[in-house]
Structure 1
Amino acid sequence: MDNANRRLQAIQRSLAPGSEWRRVLVLPDNLGVDVTVPKDAQEATQVAIDNKVVGLYRTLPRSVALVISALGTPHENTADHVPKFPVLEISSPSVIYALHTVYHVQETIPIILSPSIQNGSELTEYLITLAWPADNNPSNVRAKVTQKELFLMRETFWQGAGTSGYHTRGWLRVSTALKGRAPFPYVQSFTRTDLVIASHPLRPPKPPGRGDDETVGRHLAAFHKWHNSDHVNRGWGERGPIEKHREYIKNAMADPAVQPLMMSWDGELMGYCEIVWIKENHVAPYVPEGARDYDRGLHVLVGEEKLRGTLRSTTCQRPKTKRYQYFSGSPHECPNDI
């Protein structure tokens, strides 16, 4: 009976005045994805799954290119070979699979979310977590939500569904160990800073920081005290006023290649460490035979004198930070620990 009803709905839809539909995709559960064929550029395209309209998209009167090289130089936007594509405004994430098929000759598809989407900020963060889109400024904090274009990448097609929250169907069967997150795909990216020029894979978003204003203030005060001690300054060279250290932490939190962490021993603040992606770090040139794509590094300081020593440092670093480095890495290759 259900199949008969679907066929009748398809017939009715095909006979509806002013609408021409075409099949663009069949999902893993054998449901079809159809789109309307607009009569002019101003008309929105409807997307239907199983004969039910799930969203629409429209082409905006502007085109953009995904710039991922020569960042921070006078040549950042001068390359003629980088193709520009029209920006699409989408009303639902359900239309994205259709976009990958309709625009199958494009390596990137620039989109923005329609203002009518009530949970636009949440949805943007969700899409970035899946690595569906890259934003058009790779140096930005990846969780920062703006109205800038997001670029759908062809490499992330398989990551698009099968994830809890918005989708229940997809080709990838997500392991329960990943807690509903699809494996992060390989997408080429670049970093350019005063100390680093490197190509590397796009990194997964970092977990958000935790703590109220009082906790953050306490952590900053400890960080400031430690860096003004002779013991820490000999290794880190960051002695200075608290404004300098506030800016240091702000930059570390904004850097997609650095995960800053505070260390405690029995609830007492002990030190600070940074888990880094080596390729985007200033130590990369010193790695014998060169850093690999998924090599991780660890910069550590133990600021409290009474908590220093091999026993405590080893206890903190090995089971905690190394476990985090391993499980936050990538399925593409086993990372080295540097």
Structure 2
Amino acid sequence: MADIFDSICPIFLDRNEEVVEQVGSGVLVTIADTIFLLTAAHVVDWSSQGVLCIPSNAGIVPIDGSFVSIETQKGVARSKDKIDLAYYNLTKSLGANLHQSLRPIERNDLWLTDNTLDDDVYTFSGFPVNKSRNKANTVSTELFSYSGHAAVDKKYENLGYDKDTNIVINYRIKKSVSPDGVKLNPPHPRGISGGGVFRWPKDVGHRPQELRRSLVGIAHTYLKTQNCLVGTRLDLYYQLIQQNNPHLFPAASGHTESPERTIPLFLSVVCYRKEEWPLLMSQFADADHMQNSWNEWRQAVENGIEQMQRKNVLMIPIELTADEIMKHCASENIPNTGRTRADLAGR
């Protein structure tokens, strides 16, 4: 059975020598009938020293296809690049002959509307280079995953990263443990650059049995002294691919048989503050129809936002406080119901 992690692909460098070496990772994504290999720009930069390759059913072969890489500003080293974005548009031939263990993922496994709060959990997955082996002309490597909670806003600020473009998680390698709490000694993350960043359900603490994850970003940096891993949000890749390949996005470009989908629709969605949840539940006339906790409500709303985005409908989050909802109800002499709150958000 295909797994979302089967989309992660090791990337090798052939310097025209007998031995190829692994230099990074990538994620295979299918958009329409085209396969893209998403990775980090500093991984693609290795192409100046040889030919970049990936596994196929015919062995380790050169990456065949066009690529896009965002250059850094003049005078800025790639190591200072906060976005570090690159991707390949694979040829049909290579896409059809990827190694049998690889499975590109499709839109339903991508999450473009993710937002991050401190308690959220993410997994960074890729192929560490010190797990790569080349013996008797046979190359092998191992996939590893590194999970942690999202960094607080202050850490983003101190490191110079933007929450709108990056995902930063806390990760202390010497204190790694398994999901069962057993101490681990994982390999150094070098080589997972270009691998996937996966979103856990936002209410996973309340539903630990449901661990369906979605791709939300591409990994590119491990900051050992700051104890964190950094990736770039997936929607930046998606936007760039759409700009360069409008024919793959008929609904966005207007070339579609459904006129109502030629431009995005905009709808508001009510959002509530976590700290006000108990107060809100005491005020809502329809509280018995709401989720049991703020985390469950958040997961339900984010599921809805993402599903509507896939239908080309953009949901605009509108935060309402308990006070302004009650004042609105009092001034209009109407009950505090979902319909009332939705109308207020719409205004």
So what's the TM-score if we normalise by structure 1? 0.28
Q: Which has the higher strand share?
A: 2
Greater relative contact order (Cα < 8 A, sep 6+): 2
Q: TM-score, with normalisation over the residues of structure 2?
A: 0.27
